[in-house]
Structure 1
Amino acid sequence: MIIDAHAHLLPKDYPGDAPECFPRMEPVEGSTDRLLVFGQTRFPAKEVFFEAERRVEAMDASGVDAEIVSPMPPLLRYDLLAADGLSLARHVNEFAAELSSHAPERIMALGLVPMQDPDAAAAELSAVVDAGLPGVEIASNILGRSIGDESFRPFFAEAERLGVAIFVHAMPAPMDRLPMSAMGTHVVGIEGTFAAGSMILGGTAAACPDLRISFSHAAGGIAMTLPRANYFWGGSWNEEPVELDRALMHDDGPSPLEYARRFYYDSMVFDRRTIRYLIDLLGADRLLVGSDFPAMPREDPAARTLRAMDLPEEEWQDISWRNALRWIGREPVAAAPGAPSFRGTEGA
């Protein structure tokens, strides 16, 4: 079984009386596609983004049993007024629930919350649960503030309390140190590192030990920084036991690596050597299949690189589907052969 834990949706339409700041989905002449128009964004969206039947057909064609679908990142617009952000989130969440209802065992949809107003975002999580959505997607920064900023901690505490899964998608922050051409490549690595690192360094990982959170694209470069962070935390190379000089080292709780091993990471990193390193450092129980479909084409077949790595059976089962269900708080139940079926766990 394969669950693609990083795939995207777009609502087909928006209300006619929506505020002018809302997106639009304009028809494309002679096509069933739509054009997402949102600020400076012009994104052509095929039917698979918003039609459940097309999604299921695409899954069948690529060997995917189920998807965890999140809104396309351009919808994470925290520059909107808080009230407009909440209205947009509710519309997207209503569509996400409706899309999932067509094939609930194959399309598991995440929603949005208005993170520009952390209190409103926390309050909206109850409505997300009531809508049957297992989690929400947020950006790696909120108007330039990393998600580990203490102002967002009550939001994560409420997500932990309600059992709501969090998907952190890397998004550019205001930056003039790289050209615009780097926004979709190097910035993903930088922002993923900042987001995951801020959760550890800012204290949220310690304060919310049961939070189920996943990072897109393996949280960028975080895995390369963790051994150094561990050295300056406890003086160890290769996590080997050491005699600590307590005047210099700080072993007052879990290490940075131990915190990082509480998170989930999708494995869309484009190279089996990177996946091997992630498994060795973070554990096979931390990785998920991800594709960014349909914003990007899947490997053919899906998870081709992972399939070709000759992973031990338990590691393959964890990465290909079990970790995804653990992340969103669901577990498999008895079903006909070849037909995946899931149920929510307590608190999910």
Structure 2
Amino acid sequence: MLVDAHAHLLPRDYPAGSPACFPRMEPIDGDTARLLLFGNTRFRAREVFFDAERRVEAMDASGVTAEVLTPMPPLLRYDLPPADGLSLARHVNDFTATLCATAPDRLIGFGLVPMQDPDAATAELKAMREMGLIGVEIASNILGASIGEERFLPFFAEAERLNMPIFVHALPAPTGRLPRAATGTYVVGLEGTIAAASLITGGTAAKCPGLRVSFSHAAGGFPLIVPRAQYFWSGTWNEEPPIPDRALAWHDGPSPLEYARRFYYDSMVFDRRALRFLIDLLGHDRLLVGSDFPAMEREHPADRTLRSLGLPAPVLADITWHNAYRYLGIDPPAALGP
């Protein structure tokens, strides 16, 4: 079995009479694809983005048993007026639930919420759960604000209470320090780092110990910088026993690395050496397969690089599917086999 825990969808259409700030999906002459128009976004969406039959065919071709489907990041538009953001979320969530209901063992839906209004976002989680959505996708920042800020804590606490996992997708924050060409590359690494660090330093990880959070692209540079936070906390190198008198930021409670090992990270780091580092530092039980499909093409088969590491069979099975169902908080369908 193999579960792709980072895959995307787009609704095929938006209802007539939608607010002017809503996306549009326009037909393309002579093509089954549709054109997403949303602000500055112009994106050709292949049929696989919104057609369940095409998705299952693509999964079979790549050796994927099940997908965790989240809305394409351009739909995480926290700059919309809160009421419009809620309307957009409800339309996308309804489409996601309907799409996933066509193959519930293979398509696992996550919804979105209007994080620009934390109270509305929190209130919407229960309705999402009741319509069959397993989890929720949020961006790595909310209009430039860190997700670890105190005002977002009730949202995370409610997700924990409802047993809903959260997928944090890196999105650029307002900055002029890097060119726009770096948005899809280096900015992803910066955003993942800040998002994961903010959940620790802002206290969310401590206050919501049962919360299950995964990060796109292995939280960017976070795995490389968290050992520095560990040194400041412990006063020692190599995760040796702490020496509080030497530490620069000693406090009682879990260490930075212990908090980091509560999170999940997708495997979309593009290099077997990076995967080995993640396994060594964070543990194989923290990794999920991710592909960004169909926005990006999968490897064929989807676990090609993972298999090239020569991992023991139980470790490979954890990364390719056991960890995903632990993160999701659901049992794997018996009908899909081992």
Give the TM-score range, shorter chain. Answer: over 0.9
SS at 1:196's partner residue?
helix
SS at 1:160's partner residue?
helix
Alignment root-mean-square deviation, CA: 1.1
Matched, 1:9 2:5: no
Q: How does 1:155-174 map to 2 (within 5 A)?
A: 155-174=155-174
How far apart are 1:246 and its partner, in Å? 6.7
How far apart are 1:75 and its partner, in Å? 0.1
Question: What residue number does 1:152 align with?
Answer: 152
How far apart are 1:243 and its partner, in Å? 3.4
How far apart are 1:244 and its partner, in Å? 2.8
How far apart are 1:249 and its partner, in Å? 4.6
How far apart are 1:240 and its partner, in Å? 1.1
Structure 2 runs not aligned, ≥5 long: none
CA displacement, residues 22-51 of structure 1 (integer Å, 9 cap, x when unaligned): 000000000110000000100000000000
Q: How does 1:327-346 map to 2 (within 5 A)?
A: 327-335=327-335, 339-340=336-337
> 2:163, 2:128 → 1: CA distance?
11
SS at 2:311's partner residue?
coil
> 1:180, 1:333 → 2: CA distance?
43
Question: What residue number does 1:289 align with?
Answer: 289
* 8 Å contact from structure 1 (residues 105, 340) kept in 2: no
SS at 1:116's partner residue?
coil
Q: How does 1:38-49 map to 2 (within 5 A)?
A: 38-49=38-49
Question: What residue number does 1:93 align with?
Answer: 93
Q: How does 1:192-341 map to 2 (within 5 A)?
A: 192-245=192-245, 248-335=248-335, 339-340=336-337
Question: What residue number does 2:37 align with?
Answer: 37
The amino acid across from 2:181 in the alignment is: S
* 8 Å contact from structure 1 (residues 63, 302) kept in 2: yes
> 1:197, 1:260 → 2: CA distance?
9
How far apart are 1:79 and its partner, in Å? 0.2
> 1:303, 1:290 → 2: CA distance?
10
* 8 Å contact from structure 2 (residues 23, 37) kept in 1: yes
* 8 Å contact from structure 2 (residues 5, 266) kept in 1: yes
> 2:80, 2:238 → 1: CA distance?
46
Question: What residue number does 1:133 align with?
Answer: 133
How far apart are 1:284 and its partner, in Å? 0.4
> 2:113, 2:196 → 1: CA distance?
19
CA displacement, residues 211-248 of structure 1 (integer Å, 9 cap, x when unaligned): 01100000000001111100001112111124331774
SS at 1:262's partner residue?
coil
Matched, 1:24 2:24: yes
SS at 2:334's partner residue?
coil
Question: What residue number does 1:179 align with?
Answer: 179
CA displacement, residues 158-195 of structure 1 (integer Å, 9 cap, x when unaligned): 00001111000000000000011100000000000000
Structure 1 runs not aligned, ≥5 long: 342-348
* 8 Å contact from structure 2 (residues 234, 241) kept in 1: no
> 1:242, 1:203 → 2: CA distance?
21
Structure 1 residues 242, 263: CA separation in 2 closer, same or farther (over 3 Å shift)?
A: closer
Question: What residue number does 2:55 align with?
Answer: 55
The amino acid across from 1:55 in the alignment is: R
> 1:247, 1:257 → 2: CA distance?
15
* 8 Å contact from structure 2 (residues 235, 246) kept in 1: no
> 2:130, 2:120 → 1: CA distance?
16
The amino acid across from 1:62 in the alignment is: S
How far apart are 1:268 and its partner, in Å? 0.2
- TM-score w.r.t. length of structure 2: 0.98
The amino acid across from 1:15 in the alignment is: P
* 8 Å contact from structure 2 (residues 234, 250) kept in 1: yes
After TM superposition, where is structure 1 displaced by more than 4 Å over at least 4 residues in a row?
246-249
Question: What residue number does 1:346 align with?
Answer: none
- TM-score w.r.t. length of structure 1: 0.95
The amino acid across from 2:327 in the alignment is: W
* 8 Å contact from structure 2 (residues 134, 165) kept in 1: yes
The amino acid across from 2:250 in the alignment is: H
SS at 2:97's partner residue?
helix
Question: What residue number does 2:81 align with?
Answer: 81
SS at 1:332's partner residue?
coil
Identity of aligned residues (%): 70
The amino acid across from 1:140 in the alignment is: S
> 2:81, 2:317 → 1: CA distance?
43
